[in-house]
A and B are shown apart, each in its own frame.
Chain A
């Protein structure tokens, strides 16, 4: 919770309070005297996270591997020249 504000303060500063509550993603209690008479609950902001291009590439490769797995034995990466060009 961000804070409690009186109902009169809430009325007078409603836009600032909404901005603050939204920015901090906190609820605000609205009080009259000592009694809390209501709450302002901001909508949850979804923070867009930009995915790293390496992760995107690896995810795409993983998806391909799920659909069309390459299972060419444990030594393929060591034997590329041998396969393509003969003994090295």
Chain B
């Protein structure tokens, strides 16, 4: 499958970057170095933003809104706001069929497959399903 320069970032990567204690923090920094080196464009879905904001707010992370604003200010991330849900969508079918991933994960996978973009995630279950579908559609 042809890949363009866009990379869709999952909440797992962003949270690993923000959280200094995270076991995947260094890996997240490496992801951003690759983005820099390969001059990639970074996308984040509005539903991923909802996940991140909800997570940080409810865990009462100190000044979470300042972190969120860095994703929303357009300096690096392009926030994808367009989603129309339909029961015929791949994301809906994945949500019903795949036990190990949630709807947000499914929508991210669908978005990447439909747009020829690459998903960057540290979620092993989501990654496995994404790679399986990439192979299937390539």
- Listed in ascending order, the chain A residues whose CB lies under 8 Å from chain B are 52-58, 60-61, 64-65, 67-78, 80-81, 83-85, 88
Contact = CB atoms under 8 A, between A and B. Distances in A.
B28 to A, nearest CB: 8
Interface residues of B, number: 38
Contacts, number: 98
A35 to B, nearest CB: 53
A65 B55 CA distance: 17
B23 A71 contact: no
Contacts of B6: none
A54 B51 contact: no
B12 A77 contact: yes
A56 to B, nearest CB: 6
B63 interface: yes
A54 B76 contact: yes
B129 interface: no
B67 A64 contact: yes
A52 B33 CA distance: 11
B67 to A, nearest CB: 6
A80 B61 contact: no
Interface in B59-82: 59, 61-63, 66-67, 70, 75-76
A13 to B, nearest CB: 43
A67 B100 CA distance: 37
A69 B64 CA distance: 10
Given A56-B75, A81-B105, A83-B55, A71 B70 contact: no
B122 A73 contact: no
Nearest to B16: A77
Task: List the 3 shortest-distance A-B pairs measured between CB atoms, nearest first.
Answer: A77-B16, A54-B36, A68-B63
